[in-house]
Amino acid sequence: MEISRYTRVKRIFFLGIPIDIFSPQDLEEVVREMLSEETRNHIILLDLWGLMKAKRNDLFYRTLHDAALVLPISKTILSGIRFLKKEVPDRIFPFDFLISLLGILERLNRSVYILGSRARALNVIAGNIRTSFPSLKVVGRYTGYYKKEREQDIKLAIKKASPSLLLVGFGIKGKDRWIFENKKQFSPGIFLWEGLCLDIFSGKKQKPSKKSWENGTYVIRNLLQEPWRIFRAFVYFFYYLLLLIYKLKKE
């Protein structure tokens, strides 16, 4: 176990990957700490796919270890932590987490910059955020899927806007890795990639119900919409094999 940099957060290591434990009720205090320290705080919402990617990709492995918070969103991660008899964190529901984060930033009279999605969707996202959080300043936005030669100008615009939160969505190559590689070019604040939530804000995708999220049935709907996900079964096989190896080593 490693002591977290934040007062109410405990960091454990699971299969060599950092996982942070804290009560959702303490999120506002953690956010206040992040913003008061004038540091660059990358929050990662980690699923099983990301965890296994970190086991074979050194850059993503370093991305997770450098993050301010790594919060599990997968039931399978939690069951694995339980299997290895470690302290089990709360499972994060991404949509609720983002809503809570935006609400806290609004109460603190802070700001957000939105990066990603297509132009029409981005306009809807920005409008919905302004409507839902009227005191939260949207200090800028830029679409994803841009040409490479535009990137430096976009980074400069984000730095000048100096948002409290840089909210990144689909259309940014590398996702969390992009944040890791570029955050030093921006002003201090919080950085979060959450493409699915932005798609929900735009109306492109439907928010899963809390019940389907908790019992895992939303996976069936995702599989029907994106049948290629069936190939992720191999990832589950290697994950359970890895769990068994760690268990045997421990014993």
Segments making up each domain of the chain, as ranges: 2-202
8 Å CB contact between 23 and 47: no
| Percentages of the chain per state (helix, strand, coil), in multiples of 5 | 55, 15, 30
Look at residue 157 and tell me whether its pLDDT is greater than 90. Answer: yes
| pLDDT one-digit tens code per residue, 11-37 | 999 999 999 999 989 999 999 999 998
| pLDDT one-digit tens code per residue, 114-130 | 999 999 999 999 999 99
| Helix 233-250 and helix 48-56, axial crossing angle in degrees, nearest 10 | 70
pLDDT category at 244 given cuts 50, 70, 90 is: very high
pLDDT category at 230 given cuts 50, 70, 90 is: low
Which residues, including other chains, have CB under 8 Å from residue 176's CB and lie 6 or more apart?
Answer: 42, 44, 50, 60, 63, 67, 193
> Hey, which bits of the chain come out as E strands?
2-3, 10-14, 17-21, 40-46, 69-72, 111-115, 137-142, 165-168, 189-193
Q: Which two tokens stand for residue 216?
A: 């895992």
Give pTM, 2 decimals.
Answer: 0.92
| pLDDT one-digit tens code per residue, 46-61 | 999 999 999 999 999 9
Q: Which residue has the higher pLDDT, 230 or 71?
A: 71
**What is the C-alpha separation between 140 and 151, in angstroms, rounded?**
15
